[in-house]
Every structure is written in structure tokens, then in C-alpha cells.
Homo-oligomer: A and B are copies of this chain.
Amino acid sequence: MITRSELQLLRSLRDKKHREEHGLFAVEGEKIVGELLAAGHPFEQIYGTPAWAGRKTHEIGPADMQRASHFPTPSPVLAVGRIRRAALAPRELALGLTLALDGVQDPGNVGTILRIADWFGLARVLLSPGCADLYSAKVIQASMGSFARVPTFVAPLAAALAGCPVPVLGCALEGADIHTLPVPAAAVIVIGSEGRGLSAEVAGLITAAVTIPRIGAAESLNAAVAAAIVCDNLRRPRT
């Protein structure tokens, strides 16, 4: 039996404000919940209708699911997870590749970047507070399960990168050619916002600007596309 206040809580999690207040987030959809369960994500609660064949902690009727759901057409499963905000010590950046997102606001881009970080085996993704909320449905959906596998941190980049023990590479329209740049074993790669590029405070912290050579006429590349090309270049064997 689902209480009215429980339904209200579930519905409220569509808003960042309420997610922060309760320290909880909600994910809906058979595919994405299945992917996150397969990746071992430790959900607090899994509400499933009789039609949901996967693991559940609560059975919920279709009418109640309609009330709890954030979607006009609810799916048979809604899972609730706990928001985790880990602190990142600067010395941790010394190990592996870190992707740092400087105000990447589009949730589809943030989710796609988590998927890219997962594909290329990056050590972690660091998000500035101005990025799309990591716990929004769109970010989690676009990450295709990578949300559960990639270690993530949210922190002001100026503070997180001050005293960084490894190179901080900033992706920009002008800089060293990513094709010929010597590949560091550990580094932070900063991806700027879709419209404004790197913020002034972060631009002052980068040790080198790197660029993807352009042959044609497009003004810029999408943030996720740029992140992917940079990751591929840092992961390719150099002769």
C-alpha cells in the first residue's frame, strides 16, 4: 500500500529543489532502470507494477504509478536512489584522466559525456555547479547506464583544480593540435559550456589549450562531440 505522502514525495523528485531537500532522485523506464540495476546501482526503493518483471521492493498499482510518475505515460517501474556527493581531494586528480565540465547546461550533453567517459575508461567526471543536474531524469536517461559506473563529483572548478598535480587541458577553438599533443598519463580535460566556452576563472587555471583541427566551416562542435574526440585522442597509441 502506497500512502498519499509517499506518492507526493515521488512526484516531487522531478524538481531539483526537492531532490536536494530529500537527498533522493527518481528514475523511470524499464530500459534505464534495467541498465542501472545491471550496472549494480544500489537503489533505495524500486516501485514496480505487476507488469514489471524485474526486481522490486514495492508493488504499485497502475493507477498509483500514474500518480507517482513524472511522465504522461508512466512506465511499469520507478526506482528511487540516494544522491551521493563525494568530496574530491586535489591529489586524487593525479591518477588517470578526469573530464571536467565547466557549465555544460544541456542534460543530453551531460548524459552523453558520462557515456563517453565510461566507454573510454576515464577515472572520473567533475561537474561545475552550473552544469545540468546529474540527478535529473534527462541526464540519467542519456547516460544509458553509465551514470552508475562513472565516478562523478560536483564542485566549483576553480577550487577543485587549484593546485592540480597534473596538466589541465582546456578544450578551445585555438590551442595545441590534439592530434600531435604528447599524451599525458594523467590529466584533467576541461570542456566549456555550449555557448560561452571556458569560464574566465577556469581559463586562468589551464596549463594548455587544446583544439580539434577544423577543415570545414562549422563554427564549433557540440560539447559532447568535442569531449569524445579529445578522449579518443588521449586513448590512442602514439608512435
Main secondary structure of the interface of A (DSSP, over half): loop
B residues less than 8 Å from A221 (CB atoms):
115-116, 119, 228
A239 at the interface (CB under 8 A from B): yes
| Contact, CB under 8 Å: B112 / A225 | yes
The count of identical subunits is 2
Question: In whole angstroms, how far apart are the Cα atoms of A13 and B161 in the complex?
Answer: 49
Contacting B at CB under 8 A, from A107-121, are: 108, 112, 115-121
| Contact, CB under 8 Å: B235 / A213 | yes
| Contact, CB under 8 Å: B108 / A215 | no
Rounded to whole Å, the gap between the CB of A138 and the closest CB of chain B is 12
| Contact, CB under 8 Å: B215 / A235 | yes
A190 at the interface (CB under 8 A from B): no
Question: In whole angstroms, how far apart are the Cα atoms of A225 and B117 in the complex?
Answer: 12
| Contact, CB under 8 Å: A218 / B118 | yes
| Contact, CB under 8 Å: B237 / A179 | yes
Known: A225-B112, A225-B225, A237-B179. A219 touches B120 (CB 8 A): no
A146 at the interface (CB under 8 A from B): yes
